[in-house]
Structure 1
Amino acid sequence: MTVHRPSSNSSIPSVSDDHDIDHGVGLSDPSLSQSRRLMLDLVNRLHNTGVQIDIDLPQIAVIGSQSAGKSSLIESISGITLPRAAGTCTRCPTECRLSRSDSPWKCTVDLHFITDKNGQSLGQARNEAFGEPIFDKSGVEDRIRRAQRAILNPSKPPRNFLEEDDEDVTEVSFSTNYISLQISGPDVADLSFVDLPGLIASVSRGGNERDIAMVESLVTSYISKPSCVILLTVACETDFENQGAHHLTKKYDPEGKRTIGVLTKPDRIPRGDEESWLPLIRNEQETLENNWYCVKQPSSQDLKQGVTWEEARARENDFFTLTPPWSGLDPMYQKYLRTSNLVGRLSSILSDLISKRLPQIQIELENTIQKTRTGLQQLPKPPSSDPVGEIASLLHQFIGDLNNVLEGVSYSDGLLQAIRPAQERFRREIRNTAPDFQPFEEVEANSDSEFKTAEPAFLVNEDGPTGFNIPMVELESVTSLIFIDGVLERAHRARTRELPGHYPFVVQKAFIAEFTVKWQAPAQVLCRVVHRTLAQHIKALITHHFSSFGQGGLEQRVTILVQDYMNQRAEAAQALIAKLIALEIDGPLTLNEHYLKDYKAKFLSYYKGAREKRQNPVLAQAIKTFKPGQAPVLDSHNRPVPPTGIAQALSGLAGVGLGAVSAQDLVKLLPPDRMDAALNIMADVRAYFQVAYKRVVDNIPLAIDHELVRGVGRELLPALYRGLGVYGPDGLRISRELGQESPSLSGKREELRKRLERLESASRELMCVGL
């Protein structure tokens, strides 16, 4: 054939407009290079792997509405006869792989299954030869009819249909599994295409709503792919706008870049309407990049009368040569008439498309293989053949990670870091229960609007601010302040047989009991907070270790067992807390006498100093501003000036042998305070609070840590073994049930495995040709 330059509206070289009658079918092109044939064969083999589900492979899809002349066109291209009896319209894709060969004509029929009998993907396509090769064209029609029945009855062995003649019963109306015809011979074109079921116009035209939707979905699955060349057949005997295949094509190829239009049945155009179809051939209407063609095929009656394909091609040539308006078309449009020109164009388009796509296909294939392998690697391990050992291993790994969490990890979101704020709140709450003794009479405080309780500096240095500085203006609403006269009054009421100036220890015990009884609530709150925080961390750990195992049953069982065990440990912690608090409530006791005496001295000095500051402000201010060790002041003659004030007093005391007296000790020289007994009681109680408070804020967190936090890690593994029963008499059965993989995960794994099979099979085909 002669190759022409591309037309202005075509990006692919056009093929000969020579319409002489060729030998045989007249569709072979010996000038096609061997490399093109190899590429076409390669794409055919790639289709055999089923990889077209994952990779966009070049392909020609023949579509059209029912009775659009698709079957006649395919017969003309392939040189074989398709089934024409009632009820044998195309109900599954039929792939035709044509290749020119010097060997005698031959046709093999294969069945390609990409889904099982339930419509589920098989992963690797299953190809099955359907009968022996056919060497007589007259035997093809019956073989195709039987092959379609085998496809439409997926639950039965295909070989049954090679002999059976029951044509009426089918299990499905349409199928995505397809028939593959591989035809070779000296007068066969190098071409490959797939014939799709005809689109059903409406229910009244022989279909039901389900079949209409299924056929449209099947056709869409092919033509929606960017590398699919759409061969659109339009019957001239029907109004153009009423043909659904045209509208579906416009949806997926709106610019007409990969659609080739074929007008069929031009001899059935109503008289006088012929001119209305010529704008399509001239590409003036519904413009397509690869143009519209027009062909005339023999009718069913012609074929029954024994018209050969050679005679059919001659009649087609006569029709377009002698019948107006086709015969009057400009020579530049004559190349769009006749089947031979169409087939040559299809061969050129398909081979060029394959040549352009193969490098991209290789890249896409490798990328998809890598992505699929990564997806498989990211899935949890599949169920083990040793479910008991698998569960035991999971439990040990979980306990190991749990112990690390309980021991502490150096991350900001660790368990111990999450607990610490609650422990600090507990410490502050306990410290805030300290009795707020005021070394002043209540009436005196009420008369001074500027009165504020002072906070001991030594407490600030040890514990930070206590928050006890409460303005006097709010004194009426504050019940925590304890004034010195109230303390003395309680002491007087408690006296029994004591001598004057002596008071029973029960006074101190009463004050101590008032704050120790407040410690139970914050201690239990801390336990609950730690329990809740611990549960959150362990829940996350359980999910991490067990969520992907089985169908979630193991995670659920472990969660329940761990929660039960944690509740037991929390109860033990609460019982220990209650016991520790009860020890404090029972009565004051400490062997830390030095610590207690030191604090009593500090508080007694603090309380007395505060009273002296108000009762003897001059002395208090002098003591406060006095700076010991200053150099003596000299007069104008360089002689020492006699000391005055505090310095003078200290100097005099030193002169009588009391040189160790400090400025702060001067207050002891003042007359006895009538509140000295109350001051001693206040100092006793406040000093003991410091001893007990620091003991409690250590012991309660320690108890929670021992019984609950660390306690969860002790004996949990045996508890899980007992609760799960994996080592019991039914351990194997239980482990198998727990180890079942979830259907969604199993389905995802199977889908990825099937995809990898297809992709690797396609990759091997590419490697065989050295791409």
Structure 2
Amino acid sequence: MWLMSSPTNEAVTPLSSPRVVATPVPDTGVGLSNPHLSQGRRRMLDLVNKLHSTGVQVDIDLPQIAVIGSQSAGKSSLIESISGITLPRAAGTCTRCPTECRLARSNSPWQCVVSLRFIVDAAGQALGQARNERFGGIIYEKREVEDRIRRAQRAILNPTKPLKHFLEEDDVEEFESQLSFSLNSVTLQISGPDVADLSFCDLPGLIASVSSGRGGNNDIALVESLVTAYIKKPSCIILLTVACETDFENQGAHRLAKQHDPDGKRTIGVLTKPDRIPTGEESNWLPFIRNEKEALENNWFCVKQPSSADLKANITWSQARQMENDFFSSKAPWCDLEGIYQKYLRTGNLVERLSSVLSDLITKRLPEIQDELERSVIATRKLLGQLPRAPSSDPRSEISTLLHAFTSDLLRHVQGVPDDEHSTFGAGIGLIQAIRPAQERFRRAIRETAPNFKPFERDTGGKKHLPLPEFLRSEEGDEGEASDDEEEAASVTDMAESANYGSLDLAGKKRKKPSSEVIYIDDVLNRAHRARTRELPGHYPFVVQKTFIDNVVKEWHAPAQILCKTVHLTIADHAKSLVTKHFREFGQGLLEQRVKSIVHHHLKQCLERAEERIAWLLGLEDLPFSLNTHYLSDYKSKFLAHYRAARQYYGQPTLVKAIQGYGKNQTSQTPDSWGQPQPNEPTGIAKVLAGLAEIGMTGVKAEDLPKLLPPDRMAPALEIMSDVRAYFQVAYKRFADNIPLAIDDVLVRGLERGILQALYTGLGVNGPDGHRICKELAQESPQVSDRRLDLGKKLERLEIASEELLSIGQ
């Protein structure tokens, strides 16, 4: 799966088992073992090998060479020829899992470490993180490598059996394998003074059919998927082996290589077994060497490996290379090829091209790899940061800290500090600010329950206008009481404004405003007459006023209840948001859920107490009472004057207009001949006031003249209306303050009172089972735990790879 080269300076040993391969040329090497390569280039090749050792190839596309081909296409023989590693060749031991070999030159004695790399479990499901396990001890004798590889492959194909079984049993070939192929791999780490710097991966051969006695129907797709996983990466050099003894069209490896490298830029073709071409058909393969057929950017090569008889004869590596040279030098049509194509024959030339292509690829990819590593490290850290906090080793202490932080934040919101960044209701709006509009709607709803008295008789009152008292307008501003004509227009606006609180009942239906129910003066007088018992003439019982007051107070129940419910819902949403803010990242959400339940129950108790308080305040209003006698008397006199003025305006319009005009004309005088003003002859109001002064009634003003008129028969009704209306002004302001204050004390501030104790009691974290409860609450979901573990291992791989990459410049 990685870099590839050929060995140099190996001892001459037999080629077949038990043997190791040796190079025949002691003075110079080929490929990556060539001593003429720069030291910097060799360090880069070694660096990529180290990067592969970190496992970062699952995250970053690293330069690599993958050997692919159909089954029995000569891949293993090719690898042995260019690396010197002997692979198992007994019957039924063809490559059935990837075999990764990492070689490194060192001054230490020769040694080999065999490991098993698991990327899927026994059921074939992908593991979150690759797992490496040492398979046996260190090998110091080359002849032992082949047997260890054979045993390792058996262990890979039997994932449910212990590894120790395959290391200690004398003959592991007797056991039927559980799997026919596997995505898990055997890894060889070989080092020594006579070892070349290289890495390679021998992939299982592509198969066209599965025998009935071995394997499953999905093996074909499994092997093709495995090969595809390697060669689809842009930095993978595809070493495509094609056996000349089989028709080219019947070998599916070429189809797969062309699918992922359609332009042939990173594929190097290798023709194997040229000695088995049927006589007379050799010319069919020459167009490949000339790159005339299925052209590749790095050309096609042809190699000749030892036959089975040669292997049994235990020929040496140098003898094998000499036999290959003799074959191409004497065997037609290979020996007849033009000199320009001779460089595409023989194993040494193939390795030379592999070295050149791989070196160029590494040089080009190193800066890109560094950038990819940096981006991956940043992205992985960001993903880790987005995960909930890892479980604490002391969950009880952490839960206690969370509870205290939550209650402190809750107190801050209850005190009215807005949360600019994380406000439930918008930037700059806190809990108290969110409640205030509901309180204002409540005040308006209570004010709108004012009795709508008209100081006119019913039969003519509909045509008469009662203006808004100036003292109310100046007292309450534009929000003061509206006149009859103004109310009709304002009612539509009020309904549209902020879902006018006083116009809806608890069921959400439109409630008829009491102010729209006009009470005429004759209705008041008739009710007063019916209520009389033993009173003296001209006197009426107080029950008349109380009846009107009771009717008004009844209208206060719904707005008070609606305000309480609205504040409760607002607080509930706010508290729920705060719970989520403080506990959402703890455990699997169980703590958040339980805290929400406890807070909800605590808030429900506060609501019940607030409703009890509201009922108590409403009960106080059953009996009209006020010690604010000054304002009560002042309001009564003002309303009485207002109602009388309205009746006089329509009853004595001439007198009223004369009085209004008197103030404008009383300073008008005619000057004499000396320019001094002379008093005019008094007329109208002035004449009346002058006449009253003549008879001794001094101090009478123009506005006092209506008092000289005969008594109004509706005077008792005007007194009752003024009493009721004055008491309403005092009582509604008192009630409009007391209800919000009670709700704020019992419901809003009551939420914070005792909440910490309620949380500790409800959660039971301080009880005898506190440790167990805290541990359960802190338990992280398997999905998040696995995600954190995977990202942590990925970050570790990336950081180690980054350190290795930085070492090249040191």
The two structures have a TM-score, normalised by structure 1, of 0.86
Select 1:761's aligned residue among 800, 807, 810.
Answer: 800
Mapped pair 1:486 → 2:534: no
Specify whether residues 473 and 520 from structure 1 end up closer, same or farther in structure 2 by C-alpha distance, changes over 3 A only: closer
CA distance in 2 between counterparts of 1:668 and 1:506 reads 29
CA drift at 1:767: 4.4
Residue 672 of structure 1 aligns with which residue? 711
2:121–2:127 Cα contact (<8 Å) kept: no
Q: For residues 450-470 of structure 1, give each alpha carbon's deviation from its aligned partner in whole angstroms, at most 9, with x where no partner exists.
A: x55543343344060546635
Give the SS at the match of 2:538: coil
User: CA, structure 1 residues 222+652, in 2 after alignment: closer, same or farther (shift >3 Å)?
Assistant: farther
8 Å contact kept, 1:98–1:183:
yes
Q: Residue 44 of structure 2 contacts residue 362 of structure 2 at CA under 8 Å; is this kept in 1?
A: yes
1:132 is matched by which residue type in structure 2? Answer: I
2:130 matched to 1:111? no
What is aligned with 2:791?
Answer: 752
2:748 maps to what in 1? 709
Q: Partner of 2:472 in structure 1?
A: 459
1:420 aligns with 2:422: no
Distance across 2 between alignment mates of 1:681 and 1:273: 129
Contact 1:97 1:191 (C-alpha < 8 Å) held by counterparts: yes
- Per the alignment, residue 352 of structure 1 pairs with 360
Instruction: Give the count of matched residue pairs.
Output: 745
Q: How does 1:122-201 map to 2 (within 5 A)?
A: 126=132, 128=134, 130-136=136-142, 138-153=143-158, 158=163, 161-164=166-169, 165-167=171-173, 168-170=175-177, 173-182=181-190, 186=194, 190-201=197-208
Question: Are residue 612 (structure 1) and residue 634 (structure 2) matched?
Answer: no
**In 2, Cα distance between the equivalents of 1:337 and 1:263?**
9
* Residue 596 (structure 1) shift: 1.6
Aligned to 2:12: none
Partner secondary structure for residue 492 of structure 1: helix
Deviations along 1:66-125, one digit per CA (max 9) or x if unpaired, are 333322221222123311223323233222334567998x45133153658666758586
Superposition pairs for residues 372-383 of structure 1, below 5 Å?
372-383=380-391
Paired letter, 1:459: L
Q: Structure 1's 197 and 473: CA in aligned 2 closer, same or farther, altered over 3 A?
A: closer
Q: Does the 8 Å contact 1:418/1:533 carry over to 2?
A: yes
Shift of 1:242: 4.9
- Deviation string 1:735-764 (CA, Å, 9 cap, x unpaired) is 222221222222222223222322333234
Specify which of 549, 552, 573 is matched with residue 610 of structure 2: 573
Structure 2 unpaired stretches of 5+: 1-5, 7-22, 421-427, 492-511
Separation of aligned partners in 2, 1:271 and 1:683: 131
Tell me the amino acid that sits aligned with residue 752 of structure 1: L
Q: 1:602 aligns with which of 618, 625, 638?
A: 638
What is the one-letter code of the residue matched to 1:144? I
Aligned residue runs from structure 1 range 492-511, under 5 A: 492-511=529-548
- Aligned AA (1:455): L
Aligned to 2:590: 553
Measure, in 2, the Cα distance between the counterparts of 1:250 and 1:533.
66
Paired position in structure 2 for 1:563: 600
- The residue identity in structure 1 corresponding to 2:134 is E
Identify the match of residue 743 of structure 1 among 773, 782, 793: 782
CA distance in 1, matches of 2:106, 2:731: 104
Cα distance per residue 1:247-300 (max 9 Å; x no partner): 443444344333323333444456666555455444445443333333333344
* Identical pairs, percent: 59
Partner of 2:392: 384
Distance in 1 (CA, whole Å) between partners of 2:642 and 2:359 is 103
Q: 1:522 aligns with which of 552, 556, 559?
A: 559
Aligned residue number for residue 29 of structure 1? 34
Consecutive unaligned residues of structure 1, counting only runs of 5 or more, are 1-14, 16-20
1:598-647: per-residue Cα shift (whole Å, max 9, x none)? 22222222222333333344454566677669964555854256376667
In structure 1, what residue type is equivalent to 2:200?
F
1:334 aligns with 2:347: no
Q: CA deviation at 1:184?
A: 5.2
Determine which of 221, 229, 239 is the counterpart of 1:221: 229
Corresponding residue to 1:441 among 453, 457, 470: 457
* 1:570-592 CA-partner distances (Å, limit 9, x unpaired): 111111111111221x2211111
Number of the residue aligned with 1:432: 448
Distance, in Å, in 2 between the alignment partners of 1:666 and 1:199 is: 122
Instruction: Give the alignment partner of residue 484 of structure 2, picking from 469, 475, 486.
Output: 469
> Which whole-Å deviations, capped at 9, do the CAs of 1:145-199 have from their partners, x for residues lacking one?
123234445566656534423233556541334412426565x654322222233
The normalised TM-score by structure 2 is 0.82
Find the aligned partners of 1:615 and 1:108 in 2 and give their Cα distance: 123
Q: Which residue of 2 aligns with 1:45?
A: 50
User: Any idea what SS the aligned residue of 2:102 has?
Assistant: strand
Distance 2:645 2:738 in 1: 34
- Aligned 8 A contact 2:454 2:461 in 1: no
TM superposition shift of 1:512: 0.9
Judged with a 3 Å threshold, the aligned counterparts in structure 2 of structure 1 residues 436 and 131 are, in CA distance, closer, same or farther, namely same
Task: Say if 1:122 and 1:528 are closer, same or farther in 2 by CA, change over 3 A.
Answer: closer
User: How far apart in 2 are the matches of 1:656 and 1:694?
Assistant: 48
Shift of 1:499: 2.6
Q: Structure 2 matches for 1:587-736, cutoff 5 A?
A: 587-621=623-657, 632-635=668-671, 638=675, 639-640=677-678, 642=680, 665-736=704-775
Secondary structure of 2:555 counterpart:
helix
Distance 2:406 2:172 in 1: 62
How many Å separate the matches in 1 of 2:726 and 2:237?
Answer: 95
Distance across 2 between alignment mates of 1:651 and 1:238: 143
**Would the alpha carbon gap of residues 619 and 49 (structure 1) be closer, same or farther in structure 2, given more than 3 Å must change?**
farther
Structure-1 separation of matches of 2:198 and 2:594: 62
